[in-house]
Structure 1
């Protein structure tokens, strides 16, 4: 029997090397080697193996659409690859093709790796077609199957990460935490997925209001894996950094982060699995007057969800972010559109009920209609939906727009309860302050800090990307709320409110 041709031996070596490199987290080597093997057509089987590696690595690079092209090519040659194809196809909005891929029969002998892939595909499909409880169950079982595989296959994402995304979109970060903790403990997916699991775990902590844990986990993610951060991980990482800065009212921090955020947006198109970080960066862009950078991404996200039939699970957080973006950029028609979309989602998803109710209340508050009981109920409902920080903002915004001092007191108490960081602690040794320290909204803290520094309205506006007239309006409201009779009293009251 003659020896195999040299080209065949080289291709075989390249396919094996690409797979090994991907398992070890060396994605640059995996891509180069697999691409070289894919170009050699001497052995269709080994060529298909190289295509599988490429299709698994490309999502890390933000190239899910290119991964889909490879999956389509593979599907005609290897029916067993259909489950991985379904996950990628759903990610780019190709619902009909994904449905067909999920239903493709697999003639290979059943094994744990195949079971994990099938459960993963069915779980993601269920999240789109409306059964989010079944989705989370299927993805949890897929993660359990993956955990006992002797040699897990190289994949673009893990069932643990996808299950965590489903739980986060359901507003139940407490369900995502254990799933990710197990993935981290068992190192599911290997080095290539460690940083992703840590970043998503940090996002869970952020959603539960535990900023300290979120920062700790975010720091661990920065120390994990290679120094080169893949575009998908960088998008989540910078969005986490932005979210932490935004919740702390750190405008300078947001400005410092924005160059990284722009680059992350440029490098990673929108797909189903990055809607949360894109939504967070959209809010930062609105705060910094950089809407142009996120407008194309918002259009892509809307088109993607529409192509998937407007799934309530994935659409609810997206429309909530959209509502906040529209409010921040003063686009009432856009805000109403997102509120209507949330109301529609609430008809089929109980997870959308609290955001939908809060959206309607928020718009009424902005119109000057403040019902303290209604606001408190809506804000508290947001906390139950994993949006406690936003609930605090809603209560604080309502307190701004009423002159009923009893209502103001109740609403500020609600804001403090939902997010204690919204109000500095009162110093018991200074009982004779002109007015009790008032919980300031995020924007008010930014304006107040710059007023105390002595900046003019024009300078403050330039710093915060607001008009001088808008700054003047903010200061007038602060003066009214604090009861400051003179400018010197206003300075003292603002220092007290800021805890200085």
Structure 2
């Protein structure tokens, strides 16, 4: 049965609109006029509409106190002079729109006469449909005040200003900036397109900045550079530093210097202008043979922009650029701190925060902290309700590739690579995304997919040549090329990149360590190395923030060491650089730790655990010996007359039984297990390189 209202509920229920309308018709005209004025926005005490004031002055209506008392007695006016919501709606509905808007304009005039701001009333008037330039102007000013620090609010205010009659083109650049700052790139781009096709667009510099920022976030920094080239040095004005950032990123240093000549002072002494000028100057310094001052200037720029709290459209923020320069300098811990501080300060607003989190993730990955990296990736994906922009999406998938590669999970690497292939199609090469391209270069070599990335790599090398091969920006890509060449077993391809690292080593400790590591890798591949040299190179990689790479080098060398003592020394080095348990559930390829398998026994005097071959079947031991000879699945199958798939299954079972973390770990365990069964003499032939994949090439 339907609920029957009690007398108490009926008494407290709001009156029906028809009841209110009937009650209003029963009141005298003066009371209705008073209620209409208060519903429109007039207040008590205060000036009221001229018509009502005139009628009271002529005696055609009761005095104000009597009118208020009558309205309160009828329940249409609340104590304090406010009109109840239901009554206000009924009054405004019953009154013709022209009459309501005439009273609204009169109200605006009262505020203007007293030089009082409309405040929230302006928003209410605009939303009610009042077109009045005074209201529009006040909403525009309110939007301007909110734009740099509260862009979402600014966007609402500009939209309401349009409702009140603001000029669409005059507000276009500011509306686009608010859309960009909140991550709505599509809306920002559409607004800017309508502006830039005008013969003489207003607020042109701001419009160019927004357009360039949108293109940059879309992963097309070349188009950002085109925007500023179209604007030209004669019109760029205070946007010169932003233009320099875009043009340097595109490989056009001469164009950047035309926009912002070396030694230029900030356009004003404000935080924003100083931060922008330091950003451009720091980037130019980073291109020099001794780029250390560039990092210092970029950190200063990031700190200054953090202090300002403003979100300005620019191709990239100084916090991100400083973090990139730190990563390119072999200081991932510093990069992580810079990006964390910038994100906490809200540098660049919500639009930039995902990029700062992803750079934190990259620094964490490089320092072999995969859990922290994934936490930062998660933060980037939930920063705002918009999907990641193409630039950030590309960086994110490259991170996934890097994490999968380091975990040793081939299936995960293949899935991440497929996502990366898709993301590549939506971005272009620029100076500020060389790290992800380097990571993808290594993964492509690992997966024999180099053809899918070769075109992009050609663009990357050309960009660096256009900038006269700046050492700082070139070093990580040369190192990635060395790694890719090693994976592809192309010693000839190693030489030019190794030589570049050696040359850069004169002014860069980072490059010097990478050059030593590259030399060590070549010696491991050649099967002729000293354990002390490998250990020094591995620890050198750790010193420049690359512990995973150092442990991987030591682990691979351990699997190829002729002497058991050297093998154990290198295993100990690998454990030092990559202690097991740092990343639960993830195996890190190339960093073996000799653990006990079921039935294993402790080795004596060295703390190592010697796997026991008794857990392996005779067929598995036969397969194990062939694996240690460096044979692929196919070659194993041809040798003992089994299918490559069966060989793969045998190896997978051996890995599980011996508790191996990864391929390199498996090879070390197999070697130790077989040595225990049939000890090798000191002049036995060395085992092939530790990490040999199904294609017979070193894994990475």
Q: Same fold (TM over 0.5)?
A: yes
Q: Which residue of structure 1 aligns with residue 453 of structure 2?
A: 294
Q: Which residue of structure 2 aligns with residue 93 of structure 1?
A: 251
Q: 1:305 aligns with which of 457, 464, 471?
A: 464
Q: Which residue of structure 2 aligns with residue 493 of structure 1?
A: none
Q: Which residue of structure 1 aligns with residue 175 of structure 2?
A: 17
Deviation at 1:288, TM superposition (A): 1.5
Q: Which residue of structure 2 aligns with residue 125 of structure 1?
A: 284
Alignment map for 1:143-154 (pairs within 5 Å)? 143-149=302-308, 151-154=310-313
Deviations 1:427-479 (A, max 9, x none): 498443897259xxxx99xx99xx9xxx94367789x9xxxxxxxxx999985
1:29 is paired with a residue whose SS is helix
- Return 5+ residue gaps in structure 2 as ranges: 1-132, 138-161, 581-590, 604-608, 613-626, 637-641, 652-664, 678-700
Q: Greater CA deviation, 107-116 or 409-418?
A: 107-116
Q: Which residue of structure 2 aligns with residue 62 of structure 1?
A: 219
Gap change, CA 1:481 and 1:341, over 3 Å in 2 = farther
2:592 and 2:668 in contact (8 A); partners too: no
Q: Write the distance in 2 (CA, Å) between the matches of 1:412 and 1:274.
A: 34
Q: 1:116 aligns with which of 269, 275, 278?
A: 275
Gap change, CA 1:299 and 1:236, over 3 Å in 2 = same
Q: Write the distance in 1 (CA, Å) between the matches of 2:597 and 2:671.
A: 24
Deviations 1:76-129 (A, max 9, x none): 312322111111111111122223333175694432211111000011111111
Gap change, CA 1:175 and 1:234, over 3 Å in 2 = same
1:14 and 1:33 in contact (8 A); partners too: yes
Deviations 1:232-267 (A, max 9, x none): 101110111111111110100011122211011121
Q: Which residue of structure 1 aligns with residue 297 of structure 2?
A: 138
Q: Write the distance in 1 (CA, Å) between the matches of 2:430 and 2:611.
A: 44
Q: Write the distance in 2 (CA, Å) between the matches of 1:236 and 1:354.
A: 26
2:235 is paired with a residue whose SS is coil
Gap change, CA 1:269 and 1:244, over 3 Å in 2 = same
Q: 1:423 aligns with which of 579, 584, 592?
A: 592
Q: Which residue of structure 1 aligns with residue 97 of structure 2?
A: none
Q: Which residue of structure 1 aligns with residue 474 of structure 2?
A: 315
In the alignment, structure 1 residue 276 sits paired with structure 2 residue 463: no
Q: Which residue of structure 2 aligns with residue 198 of structure 1?
A: 357
2:326 and 2:332 in contact (8 A); partners too: yes
2:602 and 2:610 in contact (8 A); partners too: yes
1:35 and 1:50 in contact (8 A); partners too: no
2:575 and 2:593 in contact (8 A); partners too: no
Count the aligned residue pairs: 464
Deviation at 1:10, TM superposition (A): 2.1
Q: Which residue of structure 2 aligns with residue 432 of structure 1?
A: 601
1:303 is paired with a residue whose SS is helix
Q: Write the distance in 1 (CA, Å) between the matches of 2:313 and 2:345.
A: 16
2:308 is paired with a residue whose SS is coil
Q: 1:36 aligns with which of 163, 175, 194?
A: 194
Deviation at 1:425, TM superposition (A): 6.5
1:123 and 1:136 in contact (8 A); partners too: yes
Q: Which residue of structure 2 aligns with residue 467 of structure 1?
A: none
1:65 and 1:92 in contact (8 A); partners too: yes
2:368 and 2:547 in contact (8 A); partners too: yes
Q: TM-score, normalised by structure 2?
A: 0.62
1:123 and 1:138 in contact (8 A); partners too: yes
Gap change, CA 1:150 and 1:165, over 3 Å in 2 = closer
Q: Which residue of structure 2 aligns with residue 71 of structure 1?
A: 228
Q: Write the distance in 1 (CA, Å) between the matches of 2:175 and 2:364.
A: 37
- Return 5+ residue gaps in structure 1 as ranges: 465-473, 487-500
Q: Write the distance in 1 (CA, Å) between the matches of 2:491 and 2:298.
A: 38
Q: Write the distance in 1 (CA, Å) between the matches of 2:647 and 2:501.
A: 35
2:245 and 2:316 in contact (8 A); partners too: no
Q: Write the distance in 2 (CA, Å) between the matches of 1:476 and 1:163.
A: 41
1:38 and 1:48 in contact (8 A); partners too: no
Q: Comparing both chains, which one has the higher relative contact order based on Cα–Cα distances under 8 Å and sequence gaps of 6 or more?
A: 1
2:367 and 2:545 in contact (8 A); partners too: yes
Deviation at 1:182, TM superposition (A): 1.4
Deviations 1:130-177 (A, max 9, x none): 333211211111112212326442112110010000111111111112
Q: Write the distance in 1 (CA, Å) between the matches of 2:610 and 2:492.
A: 37
1:370 and 1:401 in contact (8 A); partners too: no
Q: TM-score, normalised by structure 1?
A: 0.85
Q: Which residue of structure 1 aligns with residue 114 of structure 2?
A: none
Gap change, CA 1:481 and 1:436, over 3 Å in 2 = closer
Q: Which residue of structure 2 aligns with residue 223 of structure 1?
A: 382
In the alignment, structure 1 residue 46 sits paired with structure 2 residue 179: no
Gap change, CA 1:153 and 1:266, over 3 Å in 2 = same
Q: 1:483 aligns with which of 674, 680, 686?
A: 674
Gap change, CA 1:396 and 1:437, over 3 Å in 2 = farther
Q: Write the distance in 1 (CA, Å) between the matches of 2:339 and 2:205.
A: 31
Q: Which residue of structure 2 aligns with residue 251 of structure 1?
A: 410
Rg comparison, structure with higher value: 2
2:316 is paired with a residue whose SS is coil
Q: Write the distance in 1 (CA, Å) between the matches of 2:205 and 2:240.
A: 13
